[in-house]
Amino acid sequence: MGDFLFAARSCLGFLTTIPVGISMEGLAALGKRLYLFPVIGAVIGLLIGGIGYLFGSLLPPEAASVMIVASLYYLTGINHLDGLSDFGDGFVAHGSREKKIGAMRDVSLGIGGVVFCVIAVLGLFAAMSGILERDTAGAGYQFLAVMIASEVSAKQAMLTISAFGKSIHPGLGSIMIDETGFREFAIGLIFSAAVCVLVFAGVGGGMHVGPGAGAGAGLPVLGVAMLGSAIALSLVVLGTANRNFGGISGDVIGATNEIARLGALLVAVAWAGAA
């Protein structure tokens, strides 16, 4: 139990800016229990959902969304967004795999990274605005449920690409990749699916949730759809990385988090808009 809690604390420190303390020993313990990623994703979603409730109650949806996006990156840091930037630079680079990997590892920010990050941040803003606008109960539990499901889905996507990808160079990312297999993926998936279904089970009224949906009817299916979209996007990123780089790295895993989160949120907006 002690090692498990140590790993959980290290996971919280790794995925957020919360000063819980993190060490190489903690990362080693986490490396053996990467199925904890979705667990911490649920914690992040809970915190962001609470922040969203506060700002959504005080501000119009657009202004609240700006504050929520800022709070998200304040809480989680920009390491994953930096990974998306590097992934974008490598993706748009011309030439051999070696040149593409070099572009991805280059500390300078290129136009590919700028475009990818702008799209991601604007997408988050648009998705959160859409969810808040459709939450007629006033940014209440519905928004909280969507935030929890999106963060859990994003972390399961990171677990998915780590489990099925191969490392292209040594580093922290390679430790995650080498230590993650089908067992970790399956444990994480069971937890993630349970959360994404249960978190919507009590949602009723307020939010338009799809054609013919009554008070909360069909919302557990939305949770499954959000999780499924995130996993599918992680496999798309994996295929793209394999073609361009011959494998994955920590940057690709971080990029997967950003892409999968956005994909899950857009599914929630599309589902709500279908009403």
Q: Does 183 fall in a domain?
A: yes
- Residues 132-157: tens digit of each pLDDT: 887 654 446 788 999 999 999 999 99
pLDDT of residue 266: 95
- Residues 169-196: tens digit of each pLDDT: 777 777 778 888 899 999 999 999 999 9
pLDDT of residue 138: 43
Q: Does 54 fall in a domain?
A: yes
Looking at per-residue pLDDT, the higher value among 93 and 23 belongs to 93
Q: Alpha-carbon distance 10 to 22, whole Å?
A: 5
Q: Does 14 fall in a domain?
A: no
Q: Does 40 fall in a domain?
A: yes
Q: Does 23 fall in a domain?
A: no
| Number of domain units in the chain | 1
Helices (H), the chain: 2-15, 24-31, 37-58, 61-76, 79-92, 97-105, 111-134, 141-164, 172-179, 182-201, 219-245, 250-273
Task: Determine the number of helices (DSSP H) and then strands (DSSP E) in the chain.
Answer: 12, 0
Q: Does 109 fall in a domain?
A: yes
The range of the structural domain enclosing residue 170 comes to: 35-273
- Residues 32-69: tens digit of each pLDDT: 888 999 999 999 999 999 998 889 888 999 999 999 99
Q: Does 3 fall in a domain?
A: no
Answer whether residue 271 shows pLDDT above 90: no
pLDDT of residue 140: 60
Q: Does 166 fall in a domain?
A: yes
Q: Could you give the 3-state DSSP secondary structure of residue 170?
A: coil
Residue-averaged pLDDT of the chain: 86
- Please state, in angstroms and as integers, the Cα–Cα distance from residue 214 to each residue in 140, 185, 199, 210, 268, following that order: 17, 34, 17, 9, 16
Answer whether residue 205 shows pLDDT above 60: no
pLDDT mean over 84-112: 89
pLDDT of residue 25: 80
Per-residue confidence at 218, pLDDT binned at 50, 70, 90? low
pLDDT mean over 91-115: 88
Q: Alpha-carbon distance 91 to 85, whole Å?
A: 10
